[in-house]
Amino acid sequence: MKHSKLAAALATVALFFAGVAVSAEANKMTIHIDQKVTVNGKILDNGKYTAEWSGDGPSVQVTLLHGKDTVATFAAQIKQEPSPNLNDAIGTSDNSDGSKQLNSIYPGGKRVSIQLDNSGAGSGGSSPSR
């Protein structure tokens, strides 16, 4: 009896940690930036970045990492998309000085996009870079 209770407790703990690991992976993706883009006034160079987001409901907090270094943190909104994104991608718009502003992130295989809260940043239309 003692062993079955211990086994049940261990199984419960293992399932909990497996669920935490899966949910953490669900809110993390790699994005490739092939042009310089601005995020919260900071210019990001070309390269591979990790986007992680946390939060309940449509409002989330996004952290962009380059390797292990945090390069930007910003507020965003999760938006439902009509169909799954084919690939991981980003959306940008043109600033008045010709630079690009990061507006959105599209996790591949998911029916959501992450829309940055760029209050007044960028003046052109959005152009997804998929």
Q: Which residue has the higher pLDDT, 6 or 101?
A: 101
pLDDT for residue 8:
54
Helix (H, G, I), strand (E, B) or coil at 35: coil
The better pLDDT of the pair 24, 101 is held by: 101
- What is the per-residue pLDDT for 119? 53
Average pLDDT, the chain: 80
Q: How confident is the model at residue 15 (pLDDT cuts 50, 70, 90)?
A: very low
- For the chain, the structural domain boundaries read 30-129
Alpha-carbon distance values, 55 to 61, 62, 75, 86 (Å): 6, 9, 10, 24
- Across 88-112, b (16+ Cβ under 10 Å) vs e yields bbbbbbeeeeeebbbbbbbbeebee
pLDDT band at 4 (very low <50, low <70, confident <90, very high): low
